[in-house]
Structure 1
């Protein structure tokens, strides 16, 4: 006891790093401060979600906003925010390239290790774990500086990234494939979403490999048939751009029929008109499928629920769209084939 007070304990780890990180963060009682460039490891991430949900741990997380972290196949940042976690994105121009975690402002985990399957299974990585007060204090100061210079993400859908760091294609493919292998038996739809990233890489390198876009689509269909036997699942998401930004309405790999109902809010005082855009989003390809302009009775206050938005996706992939003014008239009612 006396020695541990005088001499801070520091340990080094070069293998089983995921286990070491999960073991330590499970001990958190108050807070986690995490800064990593890439975070695709669902085991670590789900441990963090459990801590927020069950122990009400205050978690702040800094990661890079790119297609690896914030694409269709990333960890569930939306749930992280909904549970009360603070998410901060850095960008390519001013990348936060740290890999550290501070537990209860008492324990520091620092090293070369991004929270990815690639780091866990392929790279030569290291972390050190220390309870040195001086070290922890320095890292807390640096973390607070990062937070002060970035805005927290409020709506993950509006921050959706269609960018991938193509300087690391091998990382992208291997990390996706390792995760897909892990999920294939448990969750085939998630497995397919991950394998989409491999097709994306092929598409982005088509000019080098002389691969056509039709070849990409055909290969994606082959994977679809191989991994998922249900022909009814739709391999794309449907989302909406309204005044408050982009929101996913129908997630990718949903089995129709599927319905969704939400409300549109006014974004200006005394507003009398609005516009929505519906999008079909395949892996890193965003296609507008419908723009709807409408008018309604004047509303004096900003942020007033004004429009009921209803979508219904049939098994034949026809999308019924209905907009109705709340306590008012129909604004739009039609069905389109997607």
Structure 2
């Protein structure tokens, strides 16, 4: 009789221990980290619903509606910014991406842009419009191309890959983008952006008398 009771109590204790261990592990387990890969060219579709869900219902453009494309996903991640967007990009001429950055700026999000000095002045570049809107833009002063293509959203989300922010890259080229919240990947890009941002500070060149980067 006592043997049966002891065994029963042992089984109950083991069951409770396992349940407590499971709950502890669940608490210690980190929340799922966002990792996403997007491939281009992206299907051409209306993106009005990304910018304004209400007005999208009255959009009568000839493009397909309600299609979730790679470009739509990219726009959503950019527009998810709640405090800051740091953008380091070689070529920026895509109108919808420019519209997304302007939308963030109008919401009071801090936007900083680093770009290549030569490509910032090409026909169709969005850089001039962004500057006129009051967004801080710095151009790389080095003798080589500033060929980075990455963005950091709220110091937590990294968007990087082969994609230039151009219509051709989005609709015509074989391109890729990695989107991740992995801290070990995000932090080096934060540090690289800050290093380049300080290196291309116009005040440094005013003081030294060297070539002055545009801002």
Q: Give the TM-score category using the shorter length.
A: 0.5 to 0.7
Q: Which residue pairs with 1:42 in the alignment?
A: 95
Q: Which has the larger radius of gyration?
A: 2
Of residues 46, 51, 74, the one that matches 1:21 is 74
Q: How much does 1:116 deviate?
A: 0.7
Of residues 101, 105, 109, the one that matches 1:57 is 109
Gaps of 5+ in 1: 154-338
SS at match of 2:96: helix
Of residues 56, 69, 74, the one that matches 2:120 is 69
Of residues 185, 188, 199, the one that matches 1:135 is 185
SS at match of 2:143: helix
Contact 2:163 2:176 in 1 (8 A): yes
Structure 1 segment 304-315 matched on structure 2, within 5 A: none
Structure with the larger helix share = 2
Of residues 156, 179, 194, the one that matches 1:106 is 156
Q: Which residue pairs with 1:11 in the alignment?
A: 36
For residues 303-333 of structure 1, the C-alpha deviation after alignment (integer angstroms, 9 at most, x for no partner) is xxxxxxxxxxxxxxxxxxxxxxxxxxxxxxx
Q: How much does 1:30 deviate?
A: 0.5
Contact 2:163 2:177 in 1 (8 A): yes
CA distance in 2, matches of 1:57, 1:152: 22
CA distance in 2, matches of 1:2, 1:45: 41
Structure with the larger strand share = 1
Compute the TM-score of the two structures, normalised by the length of structure 2. 0.63
For residues 101-143 of structure 1, the C-alpha deviation after alignment (integer angstroms, 9 at most, x for no partner) is 1000011011010101111122110001101122111110010
For residues 42-85 of structure 1, the C-alpha deviation after alignment (integer angstroms, 9 at most, x for no partner) is 110111111101x111111111122x43134322x344234331
SS at match of 1:5: coil
Contact 2:151 2:159 in 1 (8 A): yes
**How many residues were matched structurally?**
150
CA distance in 1, matches of 2:73, 2:28: 24
- How much is the aligned-residue C-alpha RMSD, in angstroms? 2.4
Question: Which portions of structure 1, spanning 4 or more consecutive aligned residues, are displaced by more than 3 angstroms?
Answer: 1-4
For residues 226-253 of structure 1, the C-alpha deviation after alignment (integer angstroms, 9 at most, x for no partner) is xxxxxxxxxxxxxxxxxxxxxxxxxxxx
